């Protein structure tokens, strides 16, 4: 199984990198795990709607270049479906049972995800209505993917 998190921008904070590295190490017995960063589009603080759409489109194209045709794609979106950890684990288990060995998670830039990325996604997932820093979301997502594997093997980690 291959798990890929595709995200916009570089992760700079050492403590986030360390946390993600720890979960990547733990997941290595279940899956190949990787983070794929695409460059964010430089933009001024205040943008018109057209400029925002242009930034999102450029970032979206970079994201879509990293997704293979057969990949199953989760787009992280505030309007996505919320799941419990158990529901998420069951989904991952079902995907692998039915031949989806490449699962991608997409985290957009500060403006969100381009409609083309949302259209390509097989499903949208939300971690709640809070707005979280994208760097922190990478860590939270890494932990939840690891938790899903642990739930699926019946490990006490989840309790």
Distance CA(3)–CA(6), nearest Å, equals: 10
Structural domain includes residue 84: yes
Within 13 Å of residue 76, how many CA atoms lie on the same side as its CB?
28
Structural domain includes residue 53: no
Structural domain includes residue 89: yes
Instruction: Quote the pLDDT of residue 121.
Output: 98
Instruction: Please report, for the domain that includes residue 141, its CATH number.
Output: 3.40.1280.10
Structural domain includes residue 104: yes
Structural domain includes residue 101: yes
Side by side, which strands form the sheet with 123-126? 32-38, 2-8, 102-107, 72-82, 123-126
109 assigned binding-site residue: no
Structural domain includes residue 49: no
Total domains, the chain: 1
Q: What is the pLDDT of residues 63-102, one digit of tens each?
A: 999 999 999 999 999 899 999 999 999 999 999 999 999 9
Instruction: Quote the pLDDT of residue 133.
Output: 86
Cβ 60 vs Cβ 114: under 8 Å:
yes
pLDDT tier for residue 150 given thresholds of 50, 70 and 90: very high
**% of the chain beyond a pLDDT of 90:** 85
pTM of the entire structure? 0.94
Range with lowest mean pLDDT among 4-8, 30-34, 64-68, 155-159: 155-159
The predicted model gives 21-44 an average pLDDT of 94
Structural domain includes residue 52: no
Q: In the predicted model, what is the mean pLDDT of the chain?
A: 94
Cβ 142 vs Cβ 107: under 8 Å:
no
Structural domain includes residue 18: yes
Residue 8 has pLDDT above 80, yes or no: yes
Q: What is the pLDDT of residues 115-142, one digit of tens each?
A: 999 999 999 999 998 888 889 999 999 9
Q: CA angle 62-10-125, nearest 5°?
A: 65
* Domain coverage including residue 71: 2-43+58-153
The predicted model gives 11-16 an average pLDDT of 94
Residue 44 has pLDDT above 90, yes or no: no
Instruction: Quote the pLDDT of residue 159.
Output: 72
108 assigned binding-site residue: yes
């Amino acid at each position: 199984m291959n798990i890929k998190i595709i995200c916009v921008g570089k992760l700079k904070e050492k403590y986030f990198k360390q946390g993600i590295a720890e979960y990547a190490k733990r997941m290595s017995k279940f899956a190949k795990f990787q983070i794929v960063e695409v460059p964010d589009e430089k933009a001024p603080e205040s943008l018109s709607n057209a400029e925002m759409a242009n930034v999102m489109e450029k970032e979206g194209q970079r994201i879509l270049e990293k997704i293979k045709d057969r990949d199953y794609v989760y787009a992280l979106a505030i309007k996505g479906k919320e799941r419990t950890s158990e529901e998420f684990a069951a989904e991952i288990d079902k995907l692998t049972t039915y031949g989806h060995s490449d699962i991608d998670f997409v985290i957009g830039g500060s403006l969100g995800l381009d409609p083309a990325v949302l259209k390509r996604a097989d499903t949208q997932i939300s971690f709640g209505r809070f707005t979280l820093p994208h760097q922190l979301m990478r860590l939270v997502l890494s932990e939840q993917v690891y938790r899903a594997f642990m739930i699926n093997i019946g490990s006490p980690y989840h309790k």
